[in-house]
Structure 1
């Protein structure tokens, strides 16, 4: 192949990659939009699940703790 064709293919590839990255950054795939009408049923269920999972035992004694031993 001639040098002109290789340079043209390189420039075209760089432009395509750059424009694809710009579109990806602007669109942010997987991003959700929040509505001002409140939370839906699935959001409430997710919140309740998180509270149960991370809630822990409010009456448990956490002062002093337990010595951490390395697992060699």
Structure 2
């Protein structure tokens, strides 16, 4: 009788592929040596622990905000 030996605890398993996609950070590309290449700046470098910063572009001030869900919003 193996029914008496079974645990009454319900166990849920996630697919291994999904777990790996969630937990692994995306690799950042190496800086390009070409002067015409697109420049990349990490958002945490811009925000430096703050939730928002002001960016001046062509004499206009914009607000860059990070949401609780990790999205970025740029407003004028």
Q: TM-score, normalised by structure 1?
A: 0.25
Q: Say which structure, 1 or 2, has more relative contact order (CA 8 Å, 6+ apart).
A: 2
Judging by fraction of residues, say which structure has more strand. Answer: 2
